[in-house]
Every structure is written in C-alpha cells, then in structure tokens.
Amino acid sequence: MENYPSFIPKFCYHCGHETPEDGEICENCGHELAISPIKFNDLEMKYCYACGSQAQEGSVECKSCGSKLKLPKLEMHTLQAKILRQAGQLMESITDLKKALSFAENHTEKFYICQSIASSYGEYWKPIFEKIESDSDADEIPKEVSESEEFREYVNYAKQALDALKDCPADVQKKAEDDPRSGVAGFRMLVSEYVSMSDPNTKVAIALLKEVEKKVDKTLGGQIALPYGPDAAEYSPSAFCEEMVNQCNIAEKKAPNSKEVSIKSNILKAQLYGNWYEPFGQRRTHNKAVECYEKALALGGDEAFIRYRMALLYRVHAGKDKAIENFQRVVQLVGTDSELGIECAKEIEIEKAQKGGCFIATAVYDSPAAPEVELLRQFRDEVLLKFIGGKFFVAIYYHVSPPIARLISQSQRLKIIVRSYLLKPIIKFISNRRSG
C-alpha cells in the first residue's frame, strides 16, 4: 500500500512489547527481537511469539520450539492504526482501532483501545474546538457538529473508555487518573457536556453561572481570598459574595444531575467564600472554600486549575505547607515547561523563602540568611505577632508582597532604592528600639 511509511515496526514475539526500530533486545523482557509479522493486506500469517518462526497454515504448535501459536490480531490492528495515523490517515486509523477492540481480552486492553479511538476523534475535531475557544461569541459546540455521527462516536468511545477504566486493576486506574495525557478528565467533561446539550434545565443553569462569573470577575478580579484579621470585614464585599453564592445554589438546584454545573458552581463559590467575611469570621468561610474546591475535584474538574486556586487560598489560610503541596501537585500535572508550571515553581520558592523572613528584604539583600532579614524576622515574631493589629498587618503583607518582591529581585536599581529609603530607616528604628 503506497501511503504507508517505509519502516516496519518491531515488537517482541515473547511478550508483544513494541520496541524502537533500531532495537535488538526487548526492553521489557530481554528476549531477542524479530521483525513484526504485520502485513498490509488481508493475508493473516501466524508467527511463534517464543522464537519468531513462521508457522504453516492450520498449525497449532510451533515446529521449531513447540510453543502454542497465537494469531496477533489485536497487535496487528493497533500497530497498523498507529502507522495510518502517522501517515495522516486519521479516520482510517480509527477503523483499525475499532477492529482491534473486537479482540480485546480484558478491561485494560479495552480501556487503552477506546482511549486511543476517543483521542483520535478528539484530534479530528480539534480545529473546531480551538475556534470555539478563541471566539468569545462561539461558546457552544455548533449543532451540525454535536449532531454528526463522528461526534456521537467521539462521545461513545470516551464513555466506553471511562466504563472500562472502572473495572481495570488499581494500578492502571491510578496511572490513568494521575497522568493528564490520558485524557480521562477531558472524557468526563465531554460526556457530561454532551448530556447537558439536550437538557434545557442545564442550559439555563450554565447561562446563570456565566452571568455570575462575569460579575465575580468584575468585582473580585483575580483575588482568590482575603487574609484573616479583625479588619477583614471592612474590605470584604460580603453582601455581593452572599448574593452570588445564592445564585450558584439556584443553578445547582436547576440542574442537580449535571457535573458540569456542579463543578463550575463549586469553583465560583470557593472564590466567593474566600472573600466573604461572615459574622463568624473569615476562618469559617475559608473552610467552606476548601470544601467547594474538594467537591469540584471529586466531580472530575480540571485538577491543575483547581489545585492552583487552592494553593492561593491556603497561602492566606494559614496553611503554608498545604499551599506548597498544591503548587507542587500542579507542577507535577502540567510540567515545568508550561506557563502555569513555571508560575507555580516560582510560588513554591517564595513560600519556602517566607520561612526565612521578609519577602521584600530577602529580595533586596539576596538571601534569607542576611543579618538585616534576620533582624526583621525577629521583630515580626517578638513584636508584631504579639498583638491583633500586628498579626493582621503580617497577614496583609504576606498577601501583597510576593509580586512586589519578584519585581524588586529583577532590578538592581529598585534594590538600591528600597534598601536606602525603606529598609534602612526601618532597621535603624528597630535597632534603636532594642538598644533603648
């Protein structure tokens, strides 16, 4: 067949593990490799997995080594599908994967094949989805797409993958859930959204949440939470937060069975609780915010996005270790090459440096161990943290100073200005206070 690449893939006859073209020994079991028996036509040939010898038509055992023969139909179709995909023949590769699925002998094989089929359909629809994301007016999947046979197949195989995963061994489930490349979280959202398309109540609920989101963005912006303190009530838009939480609850009641609605509502409520100072105090609403984020995670929401917001909440929620833990999880999920991963890696360093003293002083003096930083740290512990007003000042400072410290650390001129006109007078005052 003229459209196939010229290379012939190799796999181990003993265990079926696929190996790079230049491999000679199976990296999985150590057996010597043989050329793959895959033929790009309708002729099915039998080979012995133990020794690689070709068997005669109708044979049951290998004449060379006596091993029982097996026709590698599943391997044949999956490898053939891979080659077709590499050749740019996406729909043809899906056809071969569907053939391979009919030979799946367990839930793990079924999961991986359905995962590949759904991912291939996702690649097929990728240009449409990218257009929707880039166009603010096109926030819904076009009707001609959602009602097409290919899109229904996309949803169907995503659902089959999820159903098969439930019955897979625990280690397979954990690997699929932990690896964002598996597409499991996306499959859940896809299936949920597809069900929502035909439910008028869900459409109303989503529209209501979009209005809430616009108002939250306008009023709170990127502020995830207010820090603790008796004066927090003064800065908290409590009435607004309470009204928006009520709107989110109405949306959830409108579509109680929609995961998409529940996830979106809980993420919004978490931000609102983080900024809402109730009569019982900020700690109570911050705990509610954590509960909302945990619900969104349990429902299959975007883990990297949710954990990033949880980390920002914990940063003002007296949970430094929890903040670092969630930032680290985001880096694990998205890697250090992504924009979010780089941001979280910086935040981890900032959180760790906080234990050594003042953000701004650390940036100015280039070390948390500098004598000036140590003096400021002692003043914080021995003076400021001894009374309520000082505690609130420290909480506000830790909330607003990290971006300022980052800016200072990048400019030698700013370091000189801050050191001369801000920190030196403060350090002099503290020193005089001690000696007096």
* pLDDT at residue number 208: 93
pTM confidence score: 0.51
Q: How far apart are CA 33 and CA 12, in angstroms?
A: 5
CA distances from 176 to 36, 139, 159, 172, 181 (A): 28, 29, 15, 6, 8
Q: Which residue has the tokens 């809430």?
A: 212
* pLDDT at residue number 267: 96
* pLDDT at residue number 250: 95
Q: Are 199 and 258 in contact (CB under 8 A)?
A: yes
Class of domain 200-353 (CATH, top level): mainly alpha
* pLDDT at residue number 212: 94
**Assign residue 169 a region: left if phi > 0, alpha if psi is -120 to 50, beta otherwise?**
beta
Averaged in consecutive runs of 10 residues, what is the pLDDT profile of the chain (436 residues)?
Answer: 36 55 64 45 43 53 59 69 82 89 87 90 80 58 77 89 91 84 81 72 88 91 71 66 94 89 94 78 76 92 91 77 88 83 80 62 72 81 79 74 77 86 88 77
Domain coordinates in residue numbering, the chain: 1-89, 104-198, 200-353, 359-435
HSE, CB side, 13 Å, CA atoms: give it for residue 284.
7
CA distances from 323 to 19, 48, 310, 326 (A): 41, 55, 7, 5
Going by the DSSP 8-state scheme, the letter that residue 61 receives in this structure is: B
* pLDDT at residue number 45: 42
CA distances from 328 to 88, 172, 298, 323, 349 (A): 37, 23, 19, 9, 11
